[in-house]
Amino acid sequence: MRISFASTLLLASTASAFTHIHSRPTFSTRIMATSQDELKKLVGYKAVDDYVKSGMVVGLGTGSTAYYAVERVGEKLKSGELKDILAIPTSVRTKEQAESLGIPLVTLDTHSKLDVAIDGADEVDPELNLTKGGGGALFREKIVEVCADKFIVIVDESKLCDGLGPGFPIPVEIVPFCHEHTMRMIGNLPSCKGKCKPVLRLGSAANNKVDGDEPAVTDNGNYIVDLHFEEPIKDPTTMGKEIKNVVGVVEHGLFCGMSTAVIIAGSDGISVKEAK
């Protein structure tokens, strides 16, 4: 794989701190950048450099890591290194960023097939299942990313976990109508009952911190319930199916079996884990 930011990287055969993932490591590099923002920039730029080619339709993710992937697409379009790119944003704020960079935008209504989508994640388990939606864009992220031939996930090593759930609440987007009823129905599911605490997100939808008194509202006009677990979820795929079957649920933040590859940045290097 080509590394365009070679001046910040020193190649080395370092082992990943996430070697228990059951997927093949593509390569590992030792990096000199150590701040979290620098790590996010490295993986964001690498994802675009390695997976985005001229003429592609690209899904643009949402969040502090995906921001740098969008930035890189804009840079390479401006320089002429990329041409004839069409992009589909997964949130209003990503749309605004892309427009400010001159990235041509389309929607799934006209382009239902994407070549690649790039996005961050709140947690990644050993099977490359994800928790997403901390930034409130889970529905738009999933509807775009499930249409991509390749879904490239970009994270720093703090997002790696042995099991989804305890480290980051599972977001569920629900319609406002009778939202308390829908929350109870989710909490009483076999995979959830007695195992999690459903909490309505308040304030801004862009984070899962309480920063207001009113329910957080997504770009789609819906509410978000965050499911707080104390123990790892044993079967996230089954849980996702149960949650999706609840009337009133729009989408959940369990992204299972969708990842093509996960690019991981840590203080000791960058590695790529590919799904089987």
What pLDDT is attached to residue 269? 84
* Residue showing tokens 């969040």: 63
Domain with CATH 3.30.70.260 in the chain: 170-252
* Residue showing tokens 């790039």: 118
Alpha-carbon 255 to chain mean position: 9
Pick the closest to residue 61 from 76, 44, 49 (CA basis). Answer: 44
What pLDDT is attached to residue 15? 34
* Residue showing tokens 């987007």: 173
Domain with CATH 3.40.50.1360 in the chain: 36-157+256-274
- SS3 of 201, please? coil
Q: Are 173 and 138 in contact (CB under 8 A)?
A: yes
Q: Which two tokens stand for residue 3?
A: 């590394």
Catalytic positions, please? 141
How much of the chain is helix, strand and coil, in % rounded to 5?
A: 25, 30, 45
Find all residues with CB under 8 Å of 79, minimum gap 6, and list them.
Answer: none
Q: Are 199 and 228 in contact (CB under 8 A)?
A: yes
Q: Are 88 and 141 in contact (CB under 8 A)?
A: no
What pLDDT is attached to residue 76? 98
- Backbone phi, psi, residue 246, to 5°: -75, 125
> pLDDT by residue for the chain (276 residues), tens digit each?
333 333 333 333 333 334 344 444 444 455 555 688 899 999 999 999 999 999 999 999 999 999 999 999 999 999 999 999 999 999 999 999 999 999 999 999 999 999 999 999 999 999 999 999 999 999 999 999 999 999 999 999 999 999 999 999 999 999 999 999 999 999 999 999 999 999 999 999 999 889 999 999 999 999 999 999 999 999 999 999 999 999 999 999 999 999 999 999 987 889 999 998
What amino acid occupies position 132?
K
For residues 66 and 266, give the distance between their C-alpha atoms in angstroms, rounded to a whole number. Answer: 17
What amino acid occupies position 155?
V
Q: Give the CATH architecture of domain 170-252.
A: 2-Layer Sandwich (3.30)
Q: For 97-107, give one letter per residue: b (16+ CB within 10 A) or e.
A: bbeebebeeee
CATH number of 36-157+256-274: 3.40.50.1360
Q: Are 108 and 88 in contact (CB under 8 A)?
A: yes
What pLDDT is attached to residue 162? 97
For residues 262 and 251, give the distance between their C-alpha atoms in angstroms, rounded to a whole number. Answer: 22
Find all residues with CB under 8 Å of 109, minimum gap 6, and list them.
Answer: none
Pick the closest to residue 173 from 200, 203, 213, 207 (CA basis). Answer: 200
Any idea what DSSP says for residue 96? H
Q: Which two tokens stand for residue 149?
A: 């031939």
